[in-house]
Structures are given as C-alpha cells and as structure tokens.
Amino acid sequence: MSTRPPTLRLRVSPAAETKLRQGHPWVFDGSIREQNRDGKPGELAVIFDKQDRFLAVGLYDPESPIRVRVLHRGKPAKIDENWFAEHLAKSLTLRIGIADADTDGLRLVNGENDAWPGLVLDRYNDTLVLKIYSSAWFSYLPLITNLANAQIPNRRIILRHSRNIRDQHYHDGQIISGAALDRPIVFSESGIKFYADVLKGQKTGFFLDQRDNRRKVEQFAANCKVLNVFSFTGGFSLYAARGGAQSVDSIDISKHALDELQRNWELNRENPAIDACPHREIQADAFAWLEQATEKYPLIVIDPPSLAKREADRAAAIGAYKKLAISGLRLLAPKGILVCASCSAHVSTGEFVQAVRAAVSASGKKIRELEITGHAPDHHVTVPELQYLKAIYLQQQ
C-alpha cells in the first residue's frame, strides 16, 4: 500500500475563484476557505470550485502569503516531468526569433507571464541564470536543471533566489550545473558587449527588459550630447555612443555601477563610434544633481529604479516621476528628445503618462509625444498586474 498522503485540495473564496478563472496566477492565504491537510513547500495543490470541479493546480507555499502559485488552470492535467518538459519547451518556442545573431542575452522564462510563477530564467551567453522568488521551487531544481540541460544544452546554470527565502541545500549564487565560473560573464546585446553580474547583481545581473528602448535611443543619438540619468552599468550610454553621440554623461549614485560602466566601455573599444565618444561618469544623487544642472542636452534618458516597491508608495512615486520629467524637460535642448521610463508595477502606464503630461504642462514647452513603449517581447506580459515597464518618448518642438 502506498503511504503517499492524499492530494492537497483547496477551496477558495468566490472572489478568488473568479480571479482564478480570469487567469490570475496567485491564491492568497486569506482567500482559502477549505483545505484537507497541511502542505509542504512545493507540493502540488489542486483548487476545486463549489461544485467540486477542477479550477487550477499550483505550487503550495506555506511560508508565503501567496499560498498557491498557479501552474495550470482550465482542464485537469497531470503535472509531472513530461508536463514540465513541455511547459519549458513552450516558453522557449515563444522566444524563437526574438534574439538576433548579435544578441545572446535574453529572458527565456518570464515568471507568471509564462505560467512559471515565481521563476525567471535568463540567458547570458553560455550561462543561464535561474532566479526563484518562492521556496516552493527548491525541490524542483534537480528536475528543472535536467530539463534545461536537455533543451538548452551546454550552459552553466546559476541559481539566484530572492532574499526572503532559503534552503539547506542551496544558496544564492550557487552553480547548480556546468563549469565553475573562472571569469566574468560577458554577453552581447545587439552587438554591444556587457558584463552581467550573474552572482550578485540586481535581478539576474542586467536589465534585459530595456533592450528595445536602448535600440530606439541609439537611433536618436547621432551628434547629440546625451544625458543618461540612473545609468546603472551604461546600457543606454553605450547604445547612444554607438549611435554617434557627441558625448555621453551618465549619472548614478552607485560607484560600483559606474565602474562597471567604464569596464563595459572598455569591452567595446573595437567599435569606432564607442571608442571615439567622450563620456563622463558622475556619481551623484540624480534628484539633487538634476535640480542644480544647467547644461542643455538634445537627448536625455531618465530610467530610475522602481520608485514604488509597495502600493503605499504609489502617490509619492507618481510625484517623483513628475519631478524627474520636469527636470528633464528643463534640461532639454530645442528639438531634443526626452525618454522617461518607469519600472514600478504599482504605478500604471496611465498614471505614469499622466504624471509626465503634467510635467509637460508645467514646463510651458511645446512638446510632441512620439511614442509610449512597454516590455520587450521576451518579457511579454499575460498577467496585467505584472505589467511594470513603460517609457514615453517626448520631443520638444
């Protein structure tokens, strides 16, 4: 006789049922109405509706207020190794054609948006970075490693996990498959080389999500004096230089980020435009620096970190976006282009755009809106609440 415990079964509140049917990927602890037994991290939990019909199946996480992360909904399915293999293949198929021959930094699995809730897989050249945000995934790591090795062969796999979770067998930055790291990871994005800090960096080591905006900025940069505010390691700065910028000023509060920016610049010396482009790295608080700056720039990018980490920060963040846009507009040269970006999930595209438009009105300048952009296609969004990235392109008339 098997001693396996019975399937973990849950019923949830009517509101949570509706949300699940609409495709929402999470069940919160407070919406659970019935549960047949306690569950362990990573156990499969099956959610039934009032009529005992299958609603969804997901990963149980007793340590998180997000008690179940949905893997599958609709018709019942057996979640086994084959299912995970097909599931990974589906995510990879979606990305076919997204990376050009000059790009080997790409998101392969985008969490909830690919029905891998709380799990992200990014590729940087020969290295995969698997980042998990729930301890439910720890017990699946051997399986995922095998699947990744089969479907994306010959890559090193590095595990990253969010700070609030831990496991006795794994640690953040652990190489869970492939060769030890004997040198920093360099990858290519549209032919520009960057270091990715895969062991300790934010997210998985680089902000891959801004790729398409960087490509656009390159198109606008010819002969421009460029200001890149919140530059991090110079993504926008290097694209602008390659696009023929006259000079690039990069502002960041982090010395480490600016040191990396310089290293990234050195990596790309073979490109004549990058090699020839004068650039200044300015370590400063961007808000304070912008207030006192007077020099005018024909191309300005302002891409701050998330200014609303929690819902409670939303109003203050909207105010800060407006302030940044006001500063950017003040420093914009005639006919100049200002790109304002936001990566705060708690601030909607509508709210962000409104804040920037309010700044435009306050500036008294005649400004044309060129474009509003969202996520790069490898970071596609299927869960509206998880839409975080937006950028607006403005041109002074």
Residues in contact with ligand SAH by the rule CB under 6 A: 207, 210, 230-232, 235-236, 251-254, 257, 285-287, 303-305
Beta carbon nearer to ligand SAH, 176 or 284: 284
Beta carbon nearer to ligand SAH, 159 or 391: 391
E strand spans, the chain:
8-12, 26-28, 32-35, 44-48, 54-60, 66-73, 105-110, 119-124, 127-132, 156-161, 174-177, 185-189, 192-196, 225-229, 247-252, 279-283, 297-302, 332-342, 367-373, 390-396
At its nearest, how many Å lie between ligand SAH and the CB of residue 265? Answer: 14
Interior CA angle at 33 toward 31 and 35, to 5°?
115
Q: How far apart are CA 359 and CA 287, in angstroms?
A: 15
At its nearest, how many Å lie between ligand SAH and the CB of residue 284? Answer: 6
Closest CA to 261 of 248, 271, 270: 248
Beta carbon nearer to ligand SAH, 24 or 323: 323
Beta carbon nearer to ligand SAH, 227 or 286: 286
Residue with tokens 């912008």: 290
Find residue 174's DSSP bridge partners.
159
Beta carbon nearer to ligand SAH, 164 or 202: 202
Q: How far apart are CA 299 and CA 328, in angstroms?
A: 10
Beta carbon nearer to ligand SAH, 145 or 254: 254
At its nearest, how many Å lie between ligand SAH and the CB of residue 100? Answer: 19
Beta carbon nearer to ligand SAH, 26 or 194: 194
Closest CA to 349 of 315, 390, 377: 390
At its nearest, how many Å lie between ligand SAH and the CB of residue 195? Answer: 12
Give 351's Cβ-side CA count (13 Å radius).
19
Strands 127-132 and 32-35 come out as: unpaired
Beta carbon nearer to ligand SAH, 45 or 308: 308
Q: How far apart are CA 360 and CA 354, in angstroms?
A: 10
3-state secondary structure of 14: helix
Strands 44-48 and 174-177 come out as: unpaired
At its nearest, how many Å lie between ligand SAH and the CB of residue 137? Answer: 25
Closest CA to 341 of 377, 388, 380: 388
Q: How far apart are CA 363 and CA 330, in angstroms?
A: 7
At its nearest, how many Å lie between ligand SAH and the CB of residue 220? Answer: 15
At its nearest, how many Å lie between ligand SAH and the CB of residue 158? Answer: 20
Beta carbon nearer to ligand SAH, 236 or 352: 236
Contacts of 240 (CB under 8 A, 6+ apart): 217, 218, 221, 224, 226, 228, 248, 299, 301
Beta carbon nearer to ligand SAH, 67 or 379: 379
Distance of CA 322 to the CA centre of its chain: 23
At its nearest, how many Å lie between ligand SAH and the CB of residue 199? Answer: 17
Q: How far apart are CA 105 and CA 214, in angstroms?
A: 14
At its nearest, how many Å lie between ligand SAH and the CB of residue 303? Answer: 4
At its nearest, how many Å lie between ligand SAH and the CB of residue 176? Answer: 26
Q: How far is CA 268 from CA 37, 118, 234, 243, in A?
A: 58, 34, 12, 13
